[in-house]
Amino acid sequence: MNPKLHPLLWKELKRQKKSKITPIIQVIAYCYFYIYLKSIFSIEIVLSLIPLMYVLAIQTDVFHYDFTNYIESLLSLPIEIINIIKSKCIFILLKAYVQSIITTLILLIYHVFIEKKDMVFSVKTFLLIIVLPIWQYYFSYFIGLVIWNLKSKIRIIPYLFQIIILLTCILLLSKNMVNILILIMLGLLLPISIGIKKLTETLSKERILKRSI
Amino acid sequence: MEVNIINVCKTIGKETILSNVSFKVNQGDIFALVGPNGAGKTTLIRLILNLYNPDSGKITVNNVDVRSKEYDKVRQKIGFLLDNIGLFRDLTAWENLEFFHRIYFPNASKSIRNEKISMLLREFDLYSKKDSNISFFSRGMRQRLALARALVNDPELLILDEPSRGLDLEGQILLRDFILKNAKQGKTVFINSHDLLSLQKLCTKIAFINKGKIYDIGTYEELSKRYSKNIYSIKAKNKDKWLNELKRSTFVKWVHTEFDTVTVCVDNNYNNLPEWLHSRNVQIIELKKVSGDLEDIYQRIIGFSK
């Protein structure tokens, strides 16, 4: 293990290494789901949705994991809360994209070799694939701040946010409105940034602790 | 490291948790904060660790305000064991210590890190369990691991909240040796505990806190002189005949009965206990003034029950 790896990322990796079964089940279940989705949407759309779906499944666990009896010890360490949230976001994206790559490969094998269909990626789809992870990082960061700052015990918040985004993506992609989706995502970055700034200013260990105990 | 608490007030909701608390803990002190549940002890620890902000007043550690940015450097030299232990249940004993070592020493080499963790696990008799997930540990084993974790950063100030909780006799002896050893090395130790017997043996300074106020502070000898002068030990026949009347008497602060001995604490100005007993024809076998232990002092300061 790289000794320079951020300790919080290291901790998440160690923790996740012990739960191998859940990601495997997730990948299998998602593959079945995407094969079903493929009958409704094009393969390109399905592939671009995969990371968003994984983020939805991973981020609740990762953001809420520390809200138990070790939160006090974690906050007593010489690390900023903001760095805890950032490292969690990075971990969420890393895990989501590793699982996404595996799922994508399985789906591509199925699509090209079993169904014997062609794939045509447009420039727009490529652009979407580039914009999505960047956008998702900021969005996860925002959700992390909401969870840690406002209502730490309400697990439904990230689900609601992420489901709204996912449904919007599905709706726009099904109408082949990739351009509009990209524009909406880029446009949403401004209010998300303002939200991040405001939530960062009010981030307080005292509040987190009182809501966690 | 020195800890200086100056006129600290803290209110949570509508409840006043701490009211004008002031005291100083000197370098090398083994300092105990003693008081009932809800007295404000844990809140004070949270304020020292900068987890809570005081409403007014100031806390400094080594002359650095805990609310300042520079406090992060001081924090590097603070080891702590909090009320909730704070170990990660999904990690092994080794991984728990490694995580904290990585936080404090991110650039340490693997060999230095391994050496430190091995040494700590051996010291707390947990090396054979190093690869066990701590969710299978007993409360005492977790407490020992938490003590080991408190030393991961070679601290100069140790903050221990209820460190003896869940420890068996062997664990308590280990804890006592741990505190003494660290104090001898010049570390300051700040303890919240209900284990008065151990505190009496260990501490160089004791503060009594109740309802958010410091009632008294001093060394055990100073407190003993101040509070034990009106405690009597009585051995006498037929205690059923006079004990209840004694308990009801206005000059009595508290009475403790153990086998044939009655320990009684009377008002500061009351000097007539022997006369009172003679007037009730009590057949005294032995009557003497006693120097109270920390439990007696605690009862005098905080628990005035008869």
Domains of chain B: 3-224 (3.40.50.300), 229-290 (3.30.70)
B9: which DSSP letter? E
Question: Per-residue confidence at B305, pLDDT binned at 50, 70, 90?
Answer: very low
Residue B288 has pLDDT above 60, yes or no: yes
Would you give the distance in Å from CA B53 to the centre of its chain?
22
Pairwise CA distance, residues B248 & B253, whole Å: 10
The residue in chain B having the minimum alpha-carbon distance to the alpha carbon of residue A15 is B90
Q: Which residue has the higher pLDDT, B231 or B63?
A: B63
Pairwise CA distance, residues B79 & A153, whole Å: 29
Bridge partners, A66 (sequence order)? none
Inspect the interface and report whether the beta carbons of B51 and A69 lie closer than 8 Å: no
- For residue B206, the one-letter residue type is I
Strands B157-161 and B188-192, by their bridges, are parallel
Contacts of B51 in chain A (CB under 8 A): 72, 75-76, 205-206, 209
What residues does each domain of chain A span?
20-212
Contacts of B133 in chain A (CB under 8 A): 18
Q: Specify the pLDDT at position A136.
A: 86
Pairwise CA distance, residues B137 & B219, whole Å: 37
Average pLDDT estimate for B29-51:
92
Collect all residues from A whose CB is shorter than 8 A from any CB in B: 3-4, 6-7, 10-11, 14-15, 18, 68-70, 72-79, 204-206, 209-210
Position of tokens 């950063």? B153
Q: Specify the pLDDT at position B303.
A: 65
Burial class (CB in 10 A: 0-12, 13-18, 19+), A3: middle
| A145 contacts A105 by C-beta, under 8 angstroms | no
| A142 contacts A195 by C-beta, under 8 angstroms | yes
- For residue A203, the one-letter residue type is L
Contacts of B132 in chain A (CB under 8 A): none
pLDDT per residue as tens, chain A (213 positions): 454 678 888 988 888 887 778 888 888 888 888 787 777 777 777 777 788 888 888 888 888 888 777 888 889 998 888 989 999 999 999 888 888 888 888 888 888 888 777 777 778 777 887 888 888 888 889 988 888 887 655 667 767 877 888 888 888 877 878 888 888 888 888 999 999 999 899 888 888 888 776
Most B CBs within 10 Å, among A6, A72, A75, to test the B interface: A72
Of A34-48, B166-180, B202-216, the least confident: A34-48
A151 CA to chain B: closest CA distance, Å? 18
Structure tokens at B234: 């009585």
Which of helix, strand or coil describes residue B141? helix
- For residue B272, the one-letter residue type is N
Pairwise CA distance, residues B165 & B154, whole Å: 23
A135 CA to chain B: closest CA distance, Å? 29
Structure tokens at B285: 């076998």
Question: Per-residue confidence at B31, pLDDT binned at 50, 70, 90?
Answer: very high
Pairwise CA distance, residues B16 & A195, whole Å: 33
How many C-beta atoms surround the C-beta of residue B305 within 10 A? Answer: 8
Q: Specify the pLDDT at position B25.
A: 94
Inspect the interface and report whether the beta carbons of B99 and A210 lie closer than 8 Å: no
Pairwise CA distance, residues B118 & B130, whole Å: 9
A11 CA to chain B: closest CA distance, Å? 6
Contacts of A84 in chain B (CB under 8 A): none
Q: Specify the pLDDT at position A153.
A: 57
